[in-house]
């Protein structure tokens, strides 16, 4: 395998049961084996993608002092700006070579949540920044709901099993800037090898390569989607909930060749989280004599808190 599998959401959305089942089989098999797919015919359009990249490039181009105004203490990096080197992969001490921004959920009036989400941080200098970011947020969230519906059917539960937990969930849209590399990094990479925390991650095409996925045979595979595709992977929450049936695959963003150090990299992942009160207990249909229960019971909110400490965004 020299690239991740590609699937077509139009198959799932069609009125043809065979095409719908084809999508379910393809994405389910991919997530059992490699944990990643590239997906075409999602809900984002080229104009919105272009607008969002323009806005985030304008933000990251601002003076550091202006950006630091939006790094809000006490939020654990869950909203607004997180400065260069603050986050690191679980188990590493070197900070990743990146800075990023977080857009978060703006729940509906009837959400009936058991938790309160922080408000999004408004960027005074860029009047379209937040509006554009939240437009992309909603369309990525919509895409993610359909992917989760397909996975629910693949697992063997009701198609709409995840809908309540994903709607008004604690999802995050994270525009990332990997600045040009000015000197030999000492053990640091743009993003260290890690698994994602959440249910699934939807990644808008990065501005340059570097994303690699660890195959179960121990080799690293370049994830190279087509220009109009999203890269979507399973996170640790979904791996726990399915008792390892669906795999949260280790991945990384490697540094470019030295001749490309002067080029920045931008990427925009959407981390789809459920509501904090969702139980991540191993699903009954995923546990048997061959596959004994592998994880302790925990809620999504408690699991998220643990992991934010482990990656350095929250201090003990």
CATH number at residue 58: 2.60.120.330
Question: Residue 95: inside a domain, yes or no?
Answer: yes
> The domain containing residue 255 runs over which residues?
6-275+302-310
Q: In angstroms, rounded to a whole number, what is the distance separating the alpha carbons of residues 206 and 184? A: 23
Minimum mean pLDDT range among 188-202, 205-219, 220-234, 236-250: 205-219
With a cut of 80, say whether residue 249 has pLDDT above it: yes
Pick the more confident residue, 191 or 167.
167
Structurally, how many domains does the chain consist of? 1
Question: Residue 286: inside a domain, yes or no?
Answer: no
Select from 168, 71, 76 the least CA-distant residue to 116: 168
Dmax over CA atoms of the chain, in Å, equals 58
- Which two structure tokens, joined as six digits, stand for 123? 């960027």
With a cut of 80, say whether residue 192 has pLDDT above it: no
Question: Residue 288: inside a domain, yes or no?
Answer: no
- Residue pair 42/230 in contact (Cβ under 8 Å)? The answer is yes
Helices (H), 34-72: 46-60, 64-68
Query: Distance from first CA to last CA of the chain, Å, rounded?
Result: 41
Q: What are phi and psi for residue 163, nearest 5 degrees? A: -55, -50
* SS3 state of residue 284: helix
Sequence-separated contacts (24+) of 25-31 with Cβ below 8 Å: 25/154, 27/147, 27/150, 27/151, 27/154, 28/150, 28/151, 28/154, 28/155, 28/246, 30/4, 30/5, 31/151, 31/234, 31/246, 31/247
Question: Looking at residue 195, what is its pLDDT?
Answer: 81
Query: Which percentage of the chain shows pLDDT scores above 90?
Result: 68
Q: Please, what is the average pLDDT of the chain? A: 89
Q: Residue range 156-161: average pLDDT? A: 97
Question: Looking at residue 129, what is its pLDDT?
Answer: 98
Burial of 61 (0-12, 13-18, 19+ CB in 10 A): exposed
User: HSE on the CB side for 235, CA within 13 Å?
Assistant: 23
Question: Residue 289: inside a domain, yes or no?
Answer: no
Q: In angstroms, rounded to a whole number, what is the distance separating the alpha carbons of residues 78 and 104? A: 7
Question: Residue 106: inside a domain, yes or no?
Answer: yes
Question: Residue 290: inside a domain, yes or no?
Answer: no
């Amino acid at each position: 395998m020299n690239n991740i599998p590609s699937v077509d959401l139009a198959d799932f959305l069609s009125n043809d049961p065979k095409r719908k089942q084809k999508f379910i089989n393809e994405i389910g098999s991919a997530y059992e084996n490699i944990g990643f797919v590239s997906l075409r015919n999602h809900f984002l359009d080229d104009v919105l993608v272009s607008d969002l990249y323009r806005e985030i490039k304008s933000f990251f181009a601002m003076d550091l002092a202006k950006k630091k105004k939006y790094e809000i203490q006490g939020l654990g990096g869950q909203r607004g700006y997180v400065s260069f080197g603050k986050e690191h992969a679980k188990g590493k001490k070197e900070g990743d070579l990146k800075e990023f921004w977080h857009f978060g959920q703006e729940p509906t009036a009837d959400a009936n949540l058991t938790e309160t989400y922080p408000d999004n941080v408004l960027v005074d200098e860029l009047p379209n920044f937040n509006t554009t970011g939240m437009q992309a947020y909603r369309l990525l969230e919509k895409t993610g709901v359909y992917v989760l519906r397909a996975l629910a059917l693949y697992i063997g539960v009701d198609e709409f099993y995840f809908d309540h937990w994903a709607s008004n969930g604690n999802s995050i849209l994270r525009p990332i800037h990997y600045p040009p590399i000015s000197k030999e990094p000492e053990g640091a990479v743009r993003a260290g090898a890690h698994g994602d925390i959440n249910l699934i991650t939807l990644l808008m095409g990065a501005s340059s390569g570097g994303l690699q996925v660890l195959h179960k045979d121990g080799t690293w595979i370049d994830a190279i989607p087509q220009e109009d595709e999203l890269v979507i992977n399973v996170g640790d929450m979904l791996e726990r909930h399915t008792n390892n049936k669906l795999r949260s695959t280790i991945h990384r963003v490697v540094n470019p060749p030295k001749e490309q150090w002067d080029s920045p990299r931008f990427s925009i992942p959407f981390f789809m989280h459920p509501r904090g009160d969702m139980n991540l207990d191993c699903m009954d249909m995923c546990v048997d004599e061959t596959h004994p229960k592998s994880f302790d019971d925990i809620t999504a909110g408690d699991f998220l808190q643990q992991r934010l400490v482990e990656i350095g965004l929250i201090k003990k």
